[in-house]
Amino acid sequence: MTARLILGKEVSEEIYGELRVRIDALKSRGTVPGLAVVLVGDDPASQTYVRMKGRKCEELGMHSVTEIMPGSATEEELLEKIGELNRDERIHGLLVQLPLPGHIDENTVINAIDPRKDVDCFHPTNVGRMLIGDPGFLPATPAGVQQMLVRSGVETAGKHTVVVGRSNIVGKPMAAMMMQKGPGADSTVTVVHSRTRDLAAFTRQADILIVAMGRPGSITRDMVKEGAVVIDVGTNRVDDPSSAKGSRLTGDVDFDAVKEVASAITPVPGGVGPMTICMLMANAVKAAERAEAQVMT
Ligand code: GUN
């Protein structure tokens, strides 16, 4: 068997089409959805992500603000900037790009973001709401994975979903979302991680295997059941002397071997990657719609 490819580019284009309609509707009523992104320091990968977010906002006709602060900025200065953006009515969504320099406490910063603008869904209020199944926002990468499953017709109800990885950004929320009631969920969920004994014994039981370990080659062919759906969230930059850049992106899954046993699989790049910014934009549009509804009531 050679697996069918699930491509984030295709799924995200479908969602962008729907978002454009909602953005036009908001604008026709006088609201331009606005997203602010704050970057502290000059990490090249973060700079790329922040640039991509700004560009996508502009492409969709949204209001975009990018605040770049030096790596020497203090926690107090960052909190002051967040306060300003919290109060700015033209900004509906606000995120601070992670990781932050070591002298700034991530949790303090996340807690300072108005939960109504927290389009990353990192604030404890929003994490709690997601967990009890009353979500305002859903975190972008897990939401993107869920949309890929739903829109490519993968049945999740009653299936065994194994999540590999336990980060706050992907693994933990992914597991919580897959066990909720509703479309793209209703799964029986197992979470495994770097300290799990005999990882393969668990991954081989997966009908749906979602991998967010952050390590290339974590999942080999012998770890995957025939016919499983494999979603690779890994984005690892590895040396590749044969490429012009000297490096290339690769996932956590041994793609070439696993595609021979899986029924469907996401490649890296081109799989989950494009979904994260797409779902972030969806959250920003949702934030604007909710802000508008609040003004009217
Ligand atoms: N750094 C890596 N992923 C993310 C993300 O989803 N949001 C933010 N703010 N920073 C990140």
pLDDT at position 294 is 86
**How buried is 155 (Cβ within 10 angstroms: 0-12 exposed, 13-18 middle, 19+ buried)?**
middle
Residue 126 CB: number of other CB atoms within 10 A?
Answer: 23
The reply to whether the predicted model has a pTM over 0.85 is yes
Closest-CA residue, ligand 1 atom 11, reads 98
Residue corresponding to tokens 């479309």: 183
In short, whether 118's Cβ falls inside 6 Å of ligand 1 is no
Q: Does the annotation mark 97 as catalytic?
A: yes
Over the stretch 65-83, which tens digit does the pLDDT of each residue have?
A: 999 999 999 999 999 999 9
pLDDT at position 296 is 67
Query: What is the pLDDT confidence band of residue 135, given thresholds at 50, 70 and 90?
Result: confident
Q: Does the annotation mark 53 as catalytic?
A: yes
- Same domain (yes/no): 215, 271: yes
- Same domain (yes/no): 105, 145: no
- Same domain (yes/no): 106, 180: no
In short, whether 235's Cβ falls inside 6 Å of ligand 1 is no
Q: Which one of the listed residues 56, 81, 97, 159 is annotated catalytic?
A: 97
pLDDT at position 297 is 56
Do the domain assignments include residue 133? no
Tokens of 248: 């290339």
Structural domain of 229 = 140-275
Query: What is the pLDDT confidence band of residue 287, given thresholds at 50, 70 and 90?
Result: very high
pLDDT at position 295 is 74
Q: Which residues contact 130 (CB under 8 A, 6 or more apart)?
A: 121, 137, 138, 139, 173, 176, 177
- Same domain (yes/no): 190, 268: yes
Do the domain assignments include residue 9? no
- Same domain (yes/no): 179, 268: yes
Ligand 1 nearest atom to the CA of residue 141, by list position: 6
- Same domain (yes/no): 115, 192: no
Percent of the chain beyond pLDDT 90?
97
pLDDT at position 208 is 99
- Same domain (yes/no): 144, 196: yes
Higher pLDDT, 152 or 297: 152
